[in-house]
């Protein structure tokens, strides 16, 4: 058995605008998806998912997700989760030149699904890493990022930027502009995340911004202004000492840029009442800045606050289902120790 994990992410700046070639800065956060893979003797793929807000499910299928799994959870959620695993399996088979490889796969994730924290990217990244290693092939994090992007691109019908998958594979703060992906230095930012328990429809939200941008010059200007904020934010990060705790002046300016970015996303129609109310609670609790993260429409906000105030305020905010602190995840995809029980079980089996 091979076990790999990969982190989720928040967008410090730049979601949506990144779709039109503007830069974006996502940051990996210490909430991980863990994928355990054991090679099988046949070409079947058996997937078990836990903690995916799916109440846990097990499916077995041989070829692709077109063999609809027979499980008692809403079909779109199962199709989405299985679709990502399926695409990750295809990438691993291709990388290892083993088109008929079969796997038993278990997915565990502490990242809310579809909530702007990059859950699908983390599952795909960890899945490709674990499955290729299980077949004796070791890919670099950049190669995994690239293959994970291809997998997401396929599942999302071409509506994916490289941001989530690159950030999850590499860890830390990254900068993505079209196909140009780099890691950048950033100090340890005190992120607080608020989650409304829901999820936005990424495809519909991206399409909405595309329509607005095509229809109105001022909407196109709004998208490029988000790009301007990202460039200012990047300069601010580049001037900070990544090894020092960030000071008040730095956080005030960074938070101000996040607030501005949220206002423009709101203008583009991708916020929601619950996201706005969490953003305002965070601001009123004294956070340096707060914005939605990801596609919007529902899901998560990210705020910057080194004190406990924002988290406490969010927990009392109507519409906020969960609030937690998330450290910057400096490590991207990594191999984990298999659980002790599994090790002794496979030792027994081979004895």
Tokens (6 digits) for 142: 């950049």
Angle made by CA atoms 91, 127, 99, in degrees to the nearest 5: 35
Q: How far is CA 231 from CA 91, 123, 179, 243, in A?
A: 34, 30, 17, 22
Q: Is the Cβ–Cβ distance between 210 and 158 less than 8 Å?
A: no
Give the interface segment with ligand PMV, choosing from 16-24, 78-86, 104-112, 134-142 (CB under 6 A): 16-24
Q: Is the Cβ–Cβ distance between 139 and 331 less than 8 Å?
A: no
Near ligand PMV in 66-125, by CB under 6 A: 116, 118
CB of 202 vs ligand PMV, minimal distance in Å: 5
Q: Is the Cβ–Cβ distance between 34 and 250 less than 8 Å?
A: no
Question: 202, 259, 271, 277: which one contacts ligand PMV (CB under 6 A)?
Answer: 202
In whole angstroms, how large is the CA radius of gyration of the chain?
20
Tokens (6 digits) for 348: 């027994």
- Determine phi and psi for 72, rounding to 5 degrees: -95, 55
Does residue 132 touch ligand PMV according to CB under 6 A?
A: no
Residue with tokens 């809310």: 112
Of the two residues 16 and 283, which places its CB atom closer to ligand PMV in the complex?
16
Give the interface segment with ligand PMV, choosing from 58-66, 140-148, 157-165, 239-247 (CB under 6 A): 157-165
Question: 27, 87, 107, 160: which one contacts ligand PMV (CB under 6 A)?
Answer: 160
How far apart CA 141 and CA 119 sit, in angstroms, is 17
Question: 12, 19, 167, 212: which one contacts ligand PMV (CB under 6 A)?
Answer: 19
CB of 8 vs ligand PMV, minimal distance in Å: 9
Which residues, in sequence order, are bridge partners of residue 103?
39, 45
Of the two residues 21 and 56, which places its CB atom closer to ligand PMV in the complex?
21
Q: Is the Cβ–Cβ distance between 134 and 103 less than 8 Å?
A: yes
Does residue 33 touch ligand PMV according to CB under 6 A?
A: no
Of the two residues 27 and 295, which places its CB atom closer to ligand PMV in the complex?
295
Does residue 164 touch ligand PMV according to CB under 6 A?
A: yes
Q: Which residue is nearest to ligand PMV (CB)?
A: 294
Does residue 8 touch ligand PMV according to CB under 6 A?
A: no
Closest by CA to 317, choosing from 276, 287, 288, is 276
CB of 152 vs ligand PMV, minimal distance in Å: 8
Does residue 294 touch ligand PMV according to CB under 6 A?
A: yes
CB of 50 vs ligand PMV, minimal distance in Å: 21
Of the two residues 96 and 303, which places its CB atom closer to ligand PMV in the complex?
303
Q: Give Cα 96 to chain centroid, integer Å.
A: 25
Does residue 16 touch ligand PMV according to CB under 6 A?
A: yes
Of the two residues 38 and 293, which places its CB atom closer to ligand PMV in the complex?
293
CB of 116 vs ligand PMV, minimal distance in Å: 4
Of the two residues 17 and 313, which places its CB atom closer to ligand PMV in the complex?
17
**Residue 241: which H helix or E strand, with range?**
none
End-to-end CA distance of the chain: 16
State the catalytic residue, choosing from 164, 180, 211, 228.
164
- List all residues 6 or more positions away from 135 whose beta carbon is below 8 Å from its beta carbon: 39, 92, 96, 98, 101
Does residue 10 touch ligand PMV according to CB under 6 A?
A: no
Angle made by CA atoms 219, 224, 228, in degrees to the nearest 5: 140
**Would you call 164 a catalytic residue per the annotation?**
yes
Angle made by CA atoms 119, 292, 188, in degrees to the nearest 5: 75
Does residue 161 touch ligand PMV according to CB under 6 A?
A: yes
Of the two residues 37 and 192, which places its CB atom closer to ligand PMV in the complex?
192
Does residue 223 touch ligand PMV according to CB under 6 A?
A: no
- Neighbouring CB atoms inside 10 A of 34's CB total 20
Question: Which residues lie near ligand PMV (CB under 6 A)?
Answer: 15-16, 18-19, 116, 118, 160-161, 163-164, 202, 206, 294-295
Catalytically active residues are 164
């Amino acid at each position: 058995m091979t076990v790999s994990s990969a982190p989720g992410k928040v967008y410090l700046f730049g979601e949506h605008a990144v779709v039109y070639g503007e830069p974006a800065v996502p940051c990996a956060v210490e909430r991980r998806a863990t994928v355990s893979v054991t090679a099988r003797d046949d070409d079947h793929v058996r997937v078990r998912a836990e903690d995916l807000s799916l109440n846990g499910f097990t499916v077995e299928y041989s070829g692709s997700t077109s063999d609809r799994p027979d499980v008692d959870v809403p079909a779109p959620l199962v199709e989405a989760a299985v679709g990502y695993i399926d695409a990750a399996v295809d990438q691993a088979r291709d990388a290892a030149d083993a088109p008929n490889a079969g796997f038993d796969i278990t997915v565990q994730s502490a990242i809310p699904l579809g909530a702007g924290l990059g859950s699908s990217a983390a599952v795909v990244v960890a899945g490709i890493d674990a499955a290729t290693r299980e077949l004796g092939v070791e890919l670099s994090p950049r190669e995994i990022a690239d293959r994970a992007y291809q997998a997401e691109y396929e599942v999302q019908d071409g509506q994916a930027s490289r941001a989530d998958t690159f950030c999850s594979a590499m860890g830390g703060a990254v900068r993505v502009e079209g196909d140009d992906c780099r890691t950048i230095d950033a100090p340890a930012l005190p992120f607080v995340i608020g989650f409304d328990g829901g999820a936005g429809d990424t495809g519909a939200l991206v399409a909405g911004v595309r329509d607005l941008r095509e229809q109105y010059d001022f909407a196109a200007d709004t998208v490029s202004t988000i790009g301007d904020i990202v460039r200012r934010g990047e300069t601010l990060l580049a001037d900070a000492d990544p090894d020092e705790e960030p000071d008040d002046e730095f956080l005030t300016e960074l938070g101000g840029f996040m607030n501005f970015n949220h206002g423009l996303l709101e203008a583009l129609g991708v916020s929601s009442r619950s996201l706005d109310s969490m953003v305002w609670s965070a601001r009123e609790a004294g956070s340096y800045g707060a914005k939605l993260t990801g596609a919007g429409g529902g899901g998560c906000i990210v705020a910057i606050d080194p004190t406990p105030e924002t988290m406490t305020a969010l927990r009392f905010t109507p519409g906020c289902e969960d609030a937690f602190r998330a450290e910057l995840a400096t490590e991207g995809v990594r191999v984990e120790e298999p659980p002790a029980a599994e090790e002794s079980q496979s030792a027994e089996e081979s004895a």
